[in-house]
Each structure stands twice: as C-alpha cells, then as structure tokens.
Structure 1
Amino acid sequence: MREIALINPQSELSAEHRRSGIHIIVAAGRDGAIGHAGGMIWHLSEDLRRFRRLTMGHPIIMGRKTWMSLPKGALPGRRNIVVSRAPLFTAPGAEVFASLADALRATVTDPLVFIIGGGEIYRQMMPLADTIHLTRIDADCPDADTFFPLPDEREWELAEASETHASADGIEYRFETWARRANP
C-alpha cells in the first residue's frame, strides 16, 4: 500500500513569499480577541467603513471560517480568495486555494493584498506582512475563542494612530497602522 504524505500548508510559506504590499486588517480587543463561535466579536460601524475603504479594489485573502461568517458571501468590489484544506469546499463568488502559498502566488501581480482573517491565517501571515491596519478596541471579551497576535514592538513600529473614538454603545477604540521594522 502506498503512503500519502500530507503537506502542512504553513510549512509552504517562507521568506520567498514575503513581498511589499501584504497588509493585515483586523479589529481586536485589548488581549487580541477577534472572534467567538465562528463570528466576529466587534461590530463597530466606523471600523466596517474603514475596512471597506481600505480593501475596496484589492484582493482579500481569508480562511474558510471567515468566509463562512460573511452573511452575504463574497464582498463586492474585491477579489475574494478563500484558503481551505477541504478538497471539495466551494465558495460562490470567490477563488479557493488549498494553501496560503498558492493564494499568495495567485496574487503576485497585485501590488496590494489584504489578509482579513481568521486567527490561524493571521498567525501564519504575520511573518510575511509589512503593514497591519489594527482597530484597537479598549474592551475585553471573556468568551473569545479566536485571537490576533498583537504586534510585537521589537518587530513592528506604530506608524500612525487616530484619536480615541467611542462607539454608540460606549466602546472606545482607535485606528492604528503598524509598519514592519526594517531590521528587527
């Protein structure tokens, strides 16, 4: 009987995949909380407007669970790319790739690509990204089960930060843009 070697998609990512123009976009609580039970925790209208403004016209790469959390499926005005190891998975209105390496190869001619989640995709892409657009929410979610690895200031520097805003329900947040340090 022939053995089949399983490929770990993370092991396919390497320095050769690093390029300028890989941006992560995320809204996270104080401890990096981003999700619970397959959905987003934070629903701030200003954050959603910022997400739309920044990602419009650019490819967006996401994992299967993030795709499934989108209430209306593919986000209009963007090339939707879903990474899933499930061989029969389909995503109407999106392209599906078996690995992040394949998804990155498919966007190599795009000057800018956004990584939109979820937690595992963010963890794998942190070493390759050059910019993080972080909505930093001054709140905790004790029920969170998905987290974003907040920027390590030894590797990232805060390039821009907005004033602190408050949502209609009193949640304070600010928009931050982090740039990878040239020589961490």
Structure 2
Amino acid sequence: MLCERIALVGMMGTGKSTIARHLSARLGVPCLDLDDMIETRIGTKIPLYFKDCGEAAFRDVEQTHLESVTRSDFKGVLSTGGGIVNRKENRDLLSREWYCIHLVTDTHELVQRVLKDSTMERPMLRGADDVEQRLNQLWVERRDFYAKVSRLEIQTSFKSPAQIVEEILHVTSFSQ
C-alpha cells in the first residue's frame, strides 16, 4: 500500500516523534515534527508559550500549523502533539487527509517515560501532584478522539522503536 501522508497521534510519551523518524527513514520519506515546527515559528519552547500565552493560544497555533502542512505538498510522516485531537477541526482534518496511526502505551509505562525524560517539560502535567492520575484523566478525555481519527492502533509498551516500525509496516503493508 502506498500511503503519502501518515500522522502519528497519541498521548505524550508514546513515542510519536521517535517512531516518526524511524518510520520515515524506513519508508524513505520526509519526517515533520509538528511541535518542532511550532517552536521554530513562535521562537520559544512550547512549555514557555503555554505558560505565557495559555493553552487556547497554543491550540490556535497548533491548528494553524496542521492546516498549513495539510495544504502543502508534504508527503511523509508527521508527528503530532498529544493534544492535537482536542479540537474538532483538527480531528476532521486528520480523519479526512491523513492515515493516522494511534500509538498507545499503558499508563504505568507512560509515567515512567515522562518522568525519565527530564529534558522535556510537559505543559499538560504542570501543577499535577499525581502524574499517573493526570495522565489517566487526559486519556479519558482524549481516547475517543484518538480512536475517531485513527485507522490503526499500535501498542508501544515495552517495544523498541524498531519493533514498532516493523509492526506498522507488517500490518499496513506500506510500500518501502
């Protein structure tokens, strides 16, 4: 199967950015990280933008960038932010224009990944006394949205990036 536009969606810490790089390399197509694009455009890190401007302003920028990439001639793998599905407009665009793959990781491993990655501040976890409880809350809020936009769900718990990419390629038969 030839798929020109693949978007990875899922909770923070599921490996979207890492898997996007590995998958694009295997397929020989470009890779874009929406969060990296946004940071370049706004001139600061997303956590600082969240703090200074708020979530609504960030979601506006995020939506604008998703629309821009979708309107462009980009063909490849797109890594999205965990909250991309919060807006109906984004869900509609992802469903209509992208082959979305939902990366899922069990909550216990998500907590371990998020806490281990001290290089990255997670704005949606700011102020959370209980990270696991907050991740569960976000999951409950978003899981139906992820399911709605996705054509495929891949479990990433306790798998290497190479194993995850192999599973995606096997299940989808994407042209390599």
TM-score computed with the length of structure 1 as normaliser: 0.40
Structure number with higher relative contact order (C-alpha < 8 Å, ≥ 6 residues apart): 2
| Bigger share in helix | 2
Greater C-alpha radius of gyration: 1
